[in-house]
Every structure is written in structure tokens, then in C-alpha cells.
Amino acid sequence: MGEQYHIPVLLNETIDGLAIRENGIYVDLTFGGGGHSREILRKLNGGKLIVFDQDEDAYKNKPDDDRLIFVKHNFRYLTNFLRYLNIDKVDGILGDLGVSSHHFDVPERGFSFRYEGALDMRMSNGIKKDAAYILNHYDENDLKQIFYNYGEIKNAGRLVKEITAHRHSGFFETTNDLKAVAEKTAPKKDQAKYLAKVFQALRIEVNQEMAVLEETLQQCPPVLKPGGRLAVISYHSLEDRLVKNFIKTGDCRKSQAETDLFGHANIPFKAVNRKVIVPSKNEIERNSRARSAKLRIAERV
């Protein structure tokens, strides 16, 4: 199932960037189809790999390997589980953010406007509010902020007015319900791109992706050994901005590092790649979902 489930993006660049030591301890924050994890395991001889994934479908891809420890929880609990496993420091952390190909291709998960299914979008059944709940119950201002901030939708106000108007005639239940409403405010020439942004914004809110990413990045410096590597693949500008700021300043929300009286900045990482790494044309041709991927690698100082 693994290879069809999700084609790993920027595989060689990511593995090279982690500079894997054969007896090291590594963390894959987003196991998914296991493509990156399997490549890490091939490089280990005496080392360990801890993987996180809250999705039951991902657990089915787990290889039978004594070197792998699978944590069926959100990666925001990184520090807690390393402590539980009696692991003080690790040699590398990988995060392949976003949604796996599998999620988009399973209609009942509700991640894609291409299929009709329930408006769910939850990465885990443990998440209380699904996409339908948000559309049916959030007030106009909150909805506007979600679509403007997480989807970068310029006419978010118009979209939300259509959403609230739909509430008068019935509830949002399926992906087609949302698609029909969003098509009313979508530009004709870029309709598919617009719909993708609408669905992306809702998914980010459902799974609290920005908050989880920021929370997790802040946990990385204390658990990484000096010289240990952090490699993060992001798929939209919001994620990439948080990662870029964190590597540059040690703070996801600041683009300039704070300095002491002598002008020295106490930054936990140094960037390994000064320029962001993106997929080659050949990779994008093989896997169109790689086209928006950006890889940043940093080393613990």
C-alpha cells in the first residue's frame, strides 16, 4: 500500500540534508505512506527511528522493523513522547507537512473538491470539529479570517456571505455543498485553484495546522543534539514563512533576530541551504503534487 499511498517528495534532497549517522536516533514527524521513513531506515545500522502519525490509515503502512517506534499521536507531543521513551536528544527531525496523496484520493475523508464526500477533513477521529461544523456554526468574522489568512482568498467577504446565505436553506454536509457555494465567487479562469484554496483554508482550521507547526518547531532545539539536523518540507506560503522565520531567528513570528547589547543573536539553528530547495522539473512531471513543495534544512548550533 505504501508506494501508492503517498509518493515521497524531495526524497533524496531530504535524506541527504539530514546527514544521517548509521547509529543515530531520528524522528519522522509525519509518517504518512512511510516513504521518507523507509529511506532513513536503509541508512541506519544500530540506530532508531521514531515516527509520528495520528491517522489510522498511516499506521497500516508501518513496516515490521525493530528499529522503528510508531507513535499514534499528533507530532505536537514530540517532547512528551521522547521523554516517555527515555530519549534525551536526537540526531535529526524530519517534517513533511501538508496532506498525503492518499487523503486527497479518499472521497469519504472530504479533503478534495474533486470527489463528493462528507465534509470531514480531520486528520484524526479524535478531532472534535470537522469542516461541516465550522461552516455551519462559525460566525461570519471568524469564517472570513479563516479564508483570508489560511487560503489567502482576496474576496473572502463575498465567499462568507454566500456561505451564510446557504445556511438559511440548509446545512453544509458534503464537499459538493461547499463546492457549489464557492463556485459562485470563484474566478472563471482559475476556478480549480480557488476551490483548492477554500478547501485548504478549512483543512488548516480543522486540524489547527499552523498552531501545531509553531508549537512543534519550538520543541526542536531542546531535543536536537548539537550538529543535529532539522528538515522541513512545506507546501504553502504560510507554513514556509513560519519555518523560514524559525530557522532565521528562532521565533516563528519574527523575521529579524533579537540581539544583545553587543549585537550578538542567540539563534538555535544555522541554515544549511541558504536558498530554499524545490523539486526538479522531472520530479514535478512524475508527481504533480510536488510542484508547491519547499524544503528548508537547518543544523543545531
pLDDT at 1: 40
Residue 176 is part of which domain span?
107-207
Instruction: Say what the pTM is.
Output: 0.92
Phi (first) and psi of residue 237, to 5 degrees: -60, -30
So what's the pLDDT on residue 2? 42
pLDDT at 101: 62
Kindly state whether residues 131 and 274 are assigned to the same domain: no
Beginning with the edge strand found earlier in the chain, give each strand of the sheet holding 68-71 in spatial order: 68-71, 48-52, 25-28, 90-96, 224-234, 294-300, 269-271
- What pLDDT does 7 receive? 82
172 shares a domain with 136: yes
The CATH number of the domain where 92 resides is what?
3.40.50.150
Q: What pLDDT, on a 0 to 100 scale, did the predictor assign at position 104?
A: 63
Residue 179 and residue 133 share a domain: yes
Q: What pLDDT score was predicted for residue 24?
A: 98
pLDDT for the residue 81:
98
| 153-203 pLDDT per residue, tens | 999 999 999 999 999 999 999 999 999 999 999 999 999 999 999 999 999
Q: List, for the chain, all residue ranges whose pLDDT scores fall below the cut of 50.
A: 1-4
Eight-class DSSP state of 274: S
Model pLDDT, residue 106: 72
**Same domain flag for 12 and 96:** yes
In this prediction, residue 105 carries a pLDDT of: 65
Q: Alpha helix locations (H) across the chain?
A: 2-5, 11-18, 35-43, 56-59, 78-84, 101-105, 131-137, 140-151, 156-167, 175-182, 191-207, 209-223, 237-249, 281-286
CATH of the domain at 184: 1.10.150.170
Say how many domains are in the chain.
2
Last-in-domain residue among 154, 181, 207: 207
226: three-class secondary structure by DSSP: strand
137 and 12 assigned to the same domain: no
Query: What was the pLDDT predicted at 107?
Result: 66
pLDDT of residue 3: 44
